[in-house]
Structures are given as C-alpha cells and as structure tokens.
Amino acid sequence: MKRYEALAKEIAESIGSGVLRPGDRLPSVRQACASRGVSPSTVFQAYYLLEAQRLVEARERSGYYVAAGVRGRPPEPEAASAPDGGTVALEVSDRVFEILESTRARDVVPLGSAFPSPLLFPLQRLARVSASAVQQLDPWSTVDDLTPGNEALRRQIALRYLADGMHVRVDEIVITNGAMEALNLCLSAVARPGDAVLIESPTFYAALQALERIGLEAIEVPTHPREGMALEALERAILRHRPKACWLMTNFQNPLGSSMPEAKKAALVEILSRHGIPLIEDDVYGELYFGEQRPRPAKAFDTQGLVMHCASFSKCLAPGYRVGWAVPGRYTQAVARLKLTTTLSAPAPTQAALAAYLEKGSFDKHLRRLRRTLALQQTAFAQAVGEHFPAGTRATRPAGGYFLWVELPRGTDALQVHQQALASGISVAPGPIFSATRAFTDCLRLNYGHAWDARTEQALVTLGRIVARLR
C-alpha cells in the first residue's frame, strides 16, 4: 500500500467509525505533512482519493471537510452461525438455478452476481498475448499439454507459490478447467456417495451443489463472519460424524468475506491432520487482498500432504478462460487420473496464453490496480448500505474479495427482498441459497465487484427502501 493510500484508508476508517463526522474539517495539508512526516503531494493524493470516494469535499479557500450526509458503515455481524450439527442430505440445485437464472439479464444491476465486472480485467492485453502465443504454439503441445497441463504455466504458478514462501513442485500442480473442476476432482478423489463432508455455515452454494451431485451429506459447522470456521465445533463434528473431508475457504470466504488468522489456519490443519481428514481449500479470492501482503493459505501449514489447495485465474485475471489448478498433495496422482478420465485437459491455447502473460511480468501490476479498485468500491457500497438501509442492518468488513454479507433487520424475508428487487431490475443473492438447511433467511450477499456509479447507487437506494418496507 502506498503512503497516500494508507493515509486515505486511515481517514476513511475514522469517518466510518464516527471519529470524524459530517462537516468536520480535515487537517490542512501543512498540518498533515508536519504530523505525518510526508510530502504535500502524498497528502493531496490522499485527499483526492477520499474526494473520489465521496467521503470528503473541498471548499474553496477553506480546505477539506467530511462530506455532508456521509454515514459510517453499518455495524458488523458479531455472532457465529449456529447450525444444529447434524448431517444434511442435499436438495439445493433447483433452488439455486432458479434464483441465478433470473439474474443473468444484462439490464439487471448485478448485486447478486458471483463474478466481478469483466471490465476490471486486461482482456485486450490478454488477447494480444494470446494471439502471439497461439501463433507460436508447438503442434505437439496438444499432446504435451494433456494432464497435468502446460509445463510453462505450471512453472509460473509454482513461482507464485515460492514468492509467498511455499515450496510447490511443478509436478504437484494439475491444471483444470477452472477452480470448480479442481474442487470437484479433489472431492471425488477422497469421498464416495453416502460419505459426509464438513462445510462452513453459510457456504458457497456451488459447494452444496458439488456434494449433492456426488451424493454426499453435509455437516454444517458454525462459522464466524470475521474469523471463519469455529475450530472447537469442527473437532466436535469430527468426533461425532467421522467425515471423509472438509471443504472451506480460509481467505475472503464466499459469502461472508471472513478470513482465518494465520494461527487459526495452522490450528485447523493440525486438527484435520490429527484425524487424517483431507482439507479441500478453495482459495480463488486469495490474490484479491487489500492489505500489504497476500494472506497465506492453510496449505502453507501442511506437512502431511492432506491439504488440497485449489485456485484459478478466473476471479483475478482472466474470466472466461476457465483455467484453474489444484495442488492436491498426497492425492495428486488420484486427481490427475480423474482429470484424465473426465475432461482430459484444459485448452492448450489458453494455457499457453496465460503462461506467456505471467512470464512478461504484468500480472502483479494488474493485481495492484484491481485491488485498489475493489477496495474503493467496497467503501462506497458499505457507506451506501449504512446510509440507505434501515436501522438494525449489519454488514461484514472483508479485507479482500468482492462480497459483502448483509444481515437485515430481524424478521426480514430475504427471498421476498430478492423477488421485489428483481421486479425493480436489481439482482441480489438471498441467504438461503448458501445453506443446506435454507437458513439465513434474513441475509443477503451483495457483490461490490461492479462499477460504483449513479445506477449502482440508485439500486442500493431502492434496495434499502424494499428492505424497510418488508422488515
């Protein structure tokens, strides 16, 4: 984070917490320079950034002030979820498909989307690199790039693990058709129909669909909106049910946005290792952090090969290219064989294009810009929820990713909110689709990965009115 971004973030947090209130004057540029030990250009850049976020306003010959009408973020949810701890036979796909199909129209404001805006990605540059890579493609790559995938791409992925302090060999990486295939292959490698799998509560609906497809039962474990799965409850569930696997997101969980602290990740791996239970780690949002460095995955603490780490380029670089990967540890051969006997390989041209793009070194520059945009948009969305939603609303404060989990005032029916919002041209993701038992009936997931503009702001105004009417 650059100095001006850190300064802007600190001031924004002071505004959000109510320390600075509407109409309060910010320190002059000279005062801020003296107190912070920074240059005038740093202070000006910070104030310009806050002005772009509509948090402050400049007054001629007077300085910068907290903007009129700015309200703080809504308070955070405090309690972990409380599933009953039993196993659940899954019947979720029809409900999920019904809701998702109704939100795909281009003229709908996509607050319920599972994807960030495609306009955030360097698709033109990727297209140029792809054209060049395809022209230079070795005809034998159609054979050489079969399972486990393009070696140059796997090497680039291994280098990114190394940069994060993790040693992963090239031959441990299996390239897949997106992260969902990686996750499904890992699940199929360790579980059979009738087995039980530990999941978060709430969890990403695609995890529920994957378990349903294979004929598995879900064990929902209490999950905190800031720090993720409750480990004491996890161990109780293990002793009670003897599950075959655990599937979770440790970084910027979908839908909560929660992230496990490093010590908790280490403890998670220790518990699962002690019981011999493989962890299927969905880490597709790991690169979308807002802090100074990427949070390490649970895989970083794995010494027995039980953590099956899955990720992709779809959420951070190349949506539509459908290139993901798995690092399945001791299950690498099993996952590779499943890949070989199902979809055989990911497309050779897209693998070659991504390898070439990563080799050119542009990825990190793109990621810095993407993270900055998402952080700004989260602030704008959260401020709008605080301003336009009724009292009693709570919202998470993720340190990355692009989802807000919103707890509506008690008694509000999220499915009714979804229906009335859709009639107004707005999609939302209602809480029940993230639960095997259709819980979280008063919750919504909102996507702040699309541009903050007048249309989006008006959608949140309308959504707040719908919630107020239904509470």
Give the pLDDT of residue 456. Answer: 95
In this structure, which amino acid lies at residue 329?
A: G
When pLDDT is averaged across residues 163-182 and rounded to a whole number, the result is 96
Write the secondary structure of 176-244 as one string of H (helix), E (strand) and C (coil). Answer: ECHHHHHHHHHHHHHCCCCCEEEEEECCCHHHHHHHHHHCCEEEEEEEECCCEECHHHHHHHHHHHCCC
Q: So what's the pLDDT on residue 270? A: 98
Comparing CA positions, the residue from 46, 70, 328 lying closest to residue 174 is 328
Give pLDDT, residue 398: 92
* Rounded mean pLDDT, 323-334: 97
What confidence tens digit (pLDDT) does each residue in 295-328 have? 999 999 999 999 999 999 999 999 989 999 999 9
Give percent above pLDDT 90 in the chain: 71
Q: Per mean pLDDT, which range of 97-101, 200-204, 225-229, 436-440 is the poorest?
A: 97-101
Q: Residue 459 above 90 pLDDT?
A: yes
Q: Is residue 195 pLDDT above 90, yes or no?
A: yes
Residue 412: its pLDDT value, please?
Answer: 96
What local confidence, expressed as pLDDT, does residue 376 receive?
A: 83
Which H or E run includes 248?
A: strand 245-248
Q: pTM, whole model, 2 decimals?
A: 0.87
Residue 290 reports pLDDT greater than 90: no
pLDDT category at 103 given cuts 50, 70, 90 is: low
Closest CA to 160 of 354, 392, 339: 354
Rounded Cα–Cα distance for residues 312 and 431 (Å): 25
Query: pLDDT tens, 361-401?
Result: 889 999 999 998 998 888 889 989 998 999 999 999 898 99
Measuring CA to CA, which residue among 301, 240, 291 is closest to residue 269? Answer: 301
CA distance 345 to 360: 24
- pLDDT category at 406 given cuts 50, 70, 90 is very high
What is the reported pLDDT for 128?
92
Q: For residue 71, name the pLDDT band (cuts at 50, 70, 90).
A: low
Structural domains of the chain in order of their starting residue, each with its CATH number: 3-66 (1.10.10.10), 91-119+365-470 (3.90.1150.10), 122-363 (3.40.640.10)
